[in-house]
Amino acid sequence: MVKKHLIACSVLLLITAASTVLIRDVTSVPLMQSGSVVYGPIFTPGKNADPVKPAGTFSFADENIPQGDAKVVYRMQKALNAHAYGKLQTRILHYKAAKWFPVIEPILERYGIPQDFKYIALVESGLREGTSHRGASGYWQFMPGTARSYGLKVNRSMDERQDMEKSTVAACKYIRELYGELRSWTLTAAAYNLGDSKLKVQISRQNQNNYFKMKLNRETAGYVYKIISMKEIIENPARYGYTSNVALLAEEKSRRPFYYSLADRNTAQVLQLGRN
């Protein structure tokens, strides 16, 4: 009996000690601090961590998110926390970015699309092949009809939605067309998720063309925040508990060097595709 009590006490002591360590390491960052909005990771930064970014410095395609709006603050903080290392416990997104961004970036540049749109592919598919239950497929998650409209072959023997270069060219054509109608990169991103027709209906119905002030369905309302948070963890990984960006890229290059040689070898081909 005494032995059982000792074992039980030992287990309780171990649980208490572990809880103390976790509480010390994980600290919630307040949304408001000294009268200014402050965004930060859910983990307390280490000695060499980058400083927390203040509001107004978050942007998508050079369009800043508005300051002083409690709803915007909450959604941005929620998206950042959801993508911090403490939540995801994986660096796979950084590895995927290191593999495919060198292929995507020159195509975006060729079409005059802001580089921030490369994060849409990361949000949509995690830069992986595959088909959703709705039928959307590939890195940019095109539906069959939309894919064919922008030059991709989709049939029983071939599905070019799974081809990174060709699908990125198609995505650029689609994004450029959306921007031509909406004249806002933020709305363009929202339309990529919701569909241009549905978004235009909401713009007309609400008499509002500011994405951050519109009332949209839950997925679309959080879509741009998710893209910005993805951009943040890739470009400033240490701030959100990940290994530094340089270390991640160096590790990936050392682990799979063919990613980079593939991108270099296909640059001319990518640019040629962009002219079609």
Of all residues in the chain, what percent carry a pLDDT higher than 90?
53
Tens digit of each residue's pLDDT (9 = 90 or more) over 209-249:
999 999 999 999 999 999 999 999 999 888 888 865 555 55
pLDDT band at 199 (very low <50, low <70, confident <90, very high): very high
Nearest to residue 115, comparing CAs of 272, 258, 199, 230? Answer: 230
Query: What pLDDT, on a 0 to 100 scale, did the predictor assign at position 33?
Result: 32
Tens digit of each residue's pLDDT (9 = 90 or more) over 67-83:
888 899 899 999 999 98
Alpha-carbon separation of residue 218 from 150, 156, 190 (angstroms)? 28, 34, 12
Say yes or no to pLDDT of 1 above 60.
Answer: no
pLDDT band at 130 (very low <50, low <70, confident <90, very high): low
Neighbouring residues of 139: CB distance < 8 A, sequence distance ≥ 6: 100, 121, 124, 125, 127, 128, 129, 161, 162, 164, 167, 168
Cα(89)–Cα(68) distance, integer angstroms: 31
Structural domains in the chain plus CATH codes: 32-274 (1.10.530.10)
Query: What pLDDT, on a 0 to 100 scale, did the predictor assign at position 67?
Result: 81
The mean pLDDT of the chain is 76
Cα(72)–Cα(70) distance, integer angstroms: 5
